[in-house]
Amino acid sequence: MTSDRTPRILGAILVVLLAAGPFVPQWAIFLITIALAKGLVVLGLLILLRCGLVSFGQALYYCIGAYTAGMLGRLFEVDGVLTLMLAGMVVAAVTAYVLGFLLARYRGIFFGLLSLAVSMILYGLLVKSETLGSSDGFNVLPSTLFGIRPADEWVRYAVLVVASVVAFVAALLVHRYLKTPLGSLAPAIKDNEIRVEYMGASARYAIHVNYVIAAALAGLGGGLAATTVGHIDPEMAYWTTSGEFIFITILAGTGSVIAPFLGALIFGIIQTVAFDISPNTWQMVLGGALLAVIVFLPTGLWSLFRRRRAT
């Protein structure tokens, strides 16, 4: 295994992002920040996918993270960006811990549809709640970093710094986790769950833990997205949002913890280029890209790097 290089590659990407940030145009900084937020959610999906589980409802935790950040600002005027993101993460993780008792019993399509159902319940509740702006949502307070709000032209860069550092730490921790005994159980569960149980490990416990970690990452991503975009609405919990995360997961592949962020960035670039060159048929460009990846790179974009390394 050559993946021990991962921490160094992650560190190098972080340094490049932080150093290049001031020279990157503002719109591109925004694109990268959103890619990091979505990458965090996809990182969680990667953990689940390694267990052979596809969650069609990860938007639930993304939305919980975003609404936690939004509500803290709205009700208690909390505006520290790190506090908001961590709060989003904790609320998402606690919710996942409770729901995990139910969901960790299911596999395959049952797990997928049950997770979808739960996220649609949240969507339904939010759309019915007129005090939260119903389907229109509401604006999130402009956030601060350690009580300071940077000057206008540096706000985007500051958000990028926070997002990059958070994503770096998250990716590094997940990378470490996947090497622990519990983390490395995932592919075994995917291959043969009965054998895992015979070895004396609890598949349900491992899945429960992975589910909570995935939710925490999605909540973190949601909190980051809310403070970056500045507006939240129930569509964040809608099934199309979950679909987008799955799309990115397939696009990226599950080969490395770097893949989700790369996938999210490439997804963002394809989408924005498609919007630009064919405003009337951008979905077709996006769909074509996914088809091309599935046909030519069945294990995702990450396999490009794998192959090169092998030769």
Provide the binding-site residues for other proteins, judged by CB under 8 A. 23-28, 30-31, 34, 124, 127-128, 130, 133-139, 152, 155, 225, 229-233, 235-236, 240-241, 268-269, 271-273, 275-277, 279-280, 282-283
Give 26 or 184: the residue with its C-beta nearer to other proteins: 26
Give the 3-state secondary structure percentages of the chain, helix then strand then coil, rounded to 5.
80, 5, 20
Q: What is the DSSP letter of 39?
A: H
* Closest CB 132 distance from other proteins, rounded Å: 10
Q: How far apart are CA 292 and CA 300, in angstroms?
A: 10
CA-based diameter of the chain, in Å?
59
Total count of residues recorded for the chain:
311
Q: Which residues contact 74 (CB under 8 A, 6 or more apart)?
A: 138, 141
Q: How many C-beta neighbours within 10 Å does residue 220 have? A: 28
Closest CA to 301 of 269, 265, 253, 266: 253
Give 117 or 277: the residue with its C-beta nearer to other proteins: 277
Give 30 or 97: the residue with its C-beta nearer to other proteins: 30
Tokens in use for 205? 């416990």
* Closest CB 167 distance from other proteins, rounded Å: 17
* Closest CB 7 distance from other proteins, rounded Å: 29
* Closest CB 25 distance from other proteins, rounded Å: 5
Give 180 or 240: the residue with its C-beta nearer to other proteins: 240
Give 192 or 283: the residue with its C-beta nearer to other proteins: 283
The Cα-based distances of 290 to 38, 245, 249, 259 in angstroms read 17, 13, 11, 15
* Closest CB 242 distance from other proteins, rounded Å: 12
